[in-house]
Structure 1
Amino acid sequence: MEGSAAKVELLAFGAHPDDVEIGAAGILACHGAMGISTAICDLTDGELSTNGDVATRRKEADRAAEILGLSGRYRAGFPDRGLKGSDEQLEWMVRLIRRLQPRVVLAPHWEDRHPDHTACSRMVREAVFDAAIRKKAAAQGEAPHRVEQLFFYFINNTGQADVIVDVSDVYKHKQEAILAFESQFVPGPDRRDTPLNRPTYIPMVEGRDQIWGHQIGVTYGEGLVSAQPISMSSLV
């Protein structure tokens, strides 16, 4: 799945297919239900994952995109464990941001056990910054784009959230989107044991979302962190 050249309002980056589903699928689903255009960009195909292969992961990612009602799913095709933040990689990401002109961008939290997740976090932050540089855009024959807000979602870790989004009404879509990646989360006789397909992983994710939900008085929530102060015009 790709997408048209049309703008999207909410763009979520992940290092691998399934990263965004773990941390922010509910946010994408509930915004999509409100008629807000959403998209995911996978920086790699996760080709080094213990289970599955590229073709399988792509089919699973497309299925998850359908479940979440995405306007598009984009693949950068960068090498798994090769997110170096090179000029070429950042330029590709900048061009996508300028093309889609999202108001809000999501990225993995900068603290995570997987080095690709932390690298993705850093690269998105740089690409969002570079996308707004007017002189750089003019030199490349493009229009600059300034993202209004950059938020970071959690994958393997948890932490204090600056924003918690109520995703209770669409939580079944998050569960279905995660399980669309059967090769990663469902054990089988032809699959090796990994942290993702152990019986504790999905309950950990759901438990974390329940804790965040409890903090705002709902059943399920997804937590986001902002590296910058959050602007508000009024408290009432």
Structure 2
Amino acid sequence: MKKDTILAVGAHPDDVEIGMGGTLASHSQNGGHVYICNLTKGELSSNGTVEERQHEAEAAAAIMGVKKRFQLDFSDRSLKCDDSEYFHLITLIRELQPDVVFAPYYEDRHPDHGDCCHLVKEAVFDAGIRKFPGSDLKPHKTSSLYYYFINGFSVPDFFIDISHTQKTKEKALTSYQSQFIKRDGSVRTPLNDRYIESVRARDFLFGKEAGVLFAEGFKKGSPLVFSVVPKRSS
């Protein structure tokens, strides 16, 4: 049986963990393949160094059971399709041939998250074009593109139960000491002002909506299609 492959893309290291760390951990525990791609190194972040954050990202990926994390070299606060790194993203999609790609939802206070959303949507489309320049690999048409929340709080199109992986998600988040922990010399930011608590609260509220303890919410890129009448999972 083919193991479903997920590619989760974030503008910065820690985006994916905030929005869907529990889902990735659950998918990995169930035998699926999980990959993360960070477009930038978050070099403009107020706290921590690029090197420190790279180590934190690797630690978080290991906690969630990620098969491999990829780090591209887009410039922080400059995510554009005409960047040469864009072709690397298309190549990565063709190499991994993911069944599902996740990106940040475009409604978010951080402009990079919205730009990442639109860039990934373009890349998923272009990866399926046979004559698209810049890659010798065969085209790949991804079955599904979904969006996770980082700072926003919109009404989800669907939920994923993470009741059994919420603690794993928070452990992954706490790997980012430079971002979420107020240390000597740190600049105060929304991230080190009880941010993980707010993420937990959102997951709890989504769980209440879904009828479980904790859940992560997602938006869909296109209508969900079923071959039979769907039934609520137990």
- Give the TM-score normalised by structure 2: 0.94
Gaps of 5+ in 1: 1-6
Q: Is the 1:211–1:220 Cα contact (8 Å) retained in structure 2?
A: yes
2:57 counterpart (50, 57, 61):
61
2:102 counterpart (100, 103, 106):
106
**Structure 1: which amino acid aligns with 2:149?**
F
Provide the C-alpha distance between the structure 2 equivalents of 1:216 and 1:190, rounded to a whole number of angstroms. 41
Provide the C-alpha distance between the structure 1 equivalents of 2:219 and 2:186, rounded to a whole number of angstroms. 34
Match of 1:142? 137
Provide the C-alpha distance between the structure 2 equivalents of 1:232 and 1:195, rounded to a whole number of angstroms. 40
Match of 2:226? 232
Deviations 1:145-189 (A, max 9, x none): 010100000000111111100001011110001110000000012
Check if 1:83 corresponds to 2:79.
Answer: yes
1:202 counterpart (182, 196, 202):
196
> Which deviates more, 139-148 or 215-224?
139-148
2:158 counterpart (154, 157, 163):
163
Match of 1:74? 70
**Structure 2: which amino acid aligns with 1:136?**
F
Pairwise CA distance, 1:141: 2.5
Check if 1:97 corresponds to 2:93.
Answer: yes
Q: Is the 1:8–1:39 Cα contact (8 Å) retained in structure 2?
A: no
Match of 2:217? 223
Deviations 1:103-127 (A, max 9, x none): 0000000111111111110000000
Provide the C-alpha distance between the structure 1 equivalents of 2:125 and 2:83, rounded to a whole number of angstroms. 14
1:193 counterpart (188, 195, 209):
188
Provide the C-alpha distance between the structure 2 equivalents of 1:52 and 1:188, rounded to a whole number of angstroms. 10
- Residue 165 of structure 1: SS of its match in structure 2? strand
- Residue 231 of structure 1: SS of its match in structure 2? coil
Check if 1:51 corresponds to 2:43.
Answer: no
Q: Is the 1:90–1:126 Cα contact (8 Å) retained in structure 2?
A: no
- Give the TM-score normalised by structure 1: 0.93
| Root-mean-square deviation over aligned CA pairs | 1.4
Provide the C-alpha distance between the structure 2 equivalents of 1:8 and 1:110, rounded to a whole number of angstroms. 25
Pairwise CA distance, 1:84: 1.8
Q: Is the 1:104–1:148 Cα contact (8 Å) retained in structure 2?
A: yes
Provide the C-alpha distance between the structure 1 equivalents of 2:47 and 2:143, rounded to a whole number of angstroms. 37
Gaps of 5+ in 2: none
Q: Aligned runs of 1:9-20 on 2, under 5 Å?
A: 9-20=5-16
Distance 1:163 1:44, change over 3 A: same
Provide the C-alpha distance between the structure 1 equivalents of 2:161 and 2:97, rounded to a whole number of angstroms. 25
2:206 counterpart (201, 212, 223):
212
Deviations 1:16-40 (A, max 9, x none): 0000000010110000000100011
Distance 1:89 1:8, change over 3 A: farther
Q: Percent identity?
A: 45
Deviations 1:184-210 (A, max 9, x none): 0000122110010002x2221111111
1:22 counterpart (18, 22, 37):
18
